[in-house]
Amino acid sequence: MLTMVNQASDPSLQEYEEKKSVFIGAAAHCDSLDQAADFLESMRQAHPKARHHAFAAVAGTSPSTLSERMSDDGEPAGTAGRPILNLLRHREISQTVVAVSRYFGGILLGTGGLTRAYSAAASLALEAGRLAEIVPAADYSLTLAYRDYQPLINLVKTCKGEIRSESFTDKVSLTVVVPDPPDGQSSFIQLCNSAFPHTVLPRRLGDSSLTVPLKQ
């Protein structure tokens, strides 16, 4: 499963023109459908003279947690939001919102023409953006001595994980997220036991996810 890396403050933007109507596609990362709604509103404000602002969004980091939302925003039913959503589904892209603002050019496009135009604008925006893979991961909490801090950081980097939080008192308390390894490979807990025998005991907090940028 993939996700858009571009944030709402710097979306991927592309234009498509069909019979004098201009379609502006914008794609960005979103962590929830509420964030997707906020992004759509920002597009309305950026293009106040556009006649329609169709969109679709998919949120969730695994097939079992996916949720969707779309809108034709006054276009004939199924000609705007639905083709955008179908693109996200077909390309298996989640945590992403795509909005397409249409400036009407005075020529009716018909249902087929509208579907093609909204699909094209959305597709161009997705293709121009930066994508990353969503990989299954797990969150862990750890408490360790200061002498083990840098070696532990190095181990997390080796595992292609990330530090989520840090607290420094008489000891160091960390929350980290690490990709779940394929079957047959050592788990993060086993690696810690090998590198820090009896001194660093990670506690798994639950399932999570990480994004790994695709090579451009």
Q: pLDDT digits over 22-67, tens only?
A: 999 999 999 999 999 999 999 999 999 999 999 999 999 888 889 9
Judged against a pLDDT cut of 70, whether residue 185 lies above it is answered with: no
The confidence score (pLDDT) of residue 184 equals 42
Residue 13: beta bridge partners?
A: 26
3-state percent breakdown (helix, strand, coil) of the chain, nearest 5: 30, 40, 30
* Per-residue model confidence (pLDDT) at position 215: 67
Per cent of the chain over pLDDT 70 is: 96
User: Which range, 7-11, 61-65, 194-198, is most confident?
Assistant: 7-11
List of E strands, the chain: 2-4, 12-18, 21-29, 52-59, 67-71, 93-94, 96-103, 131-144, 162-168, 172-179, 203-213
Question: Quick one: tokens of 193?
Answer: 């036991």
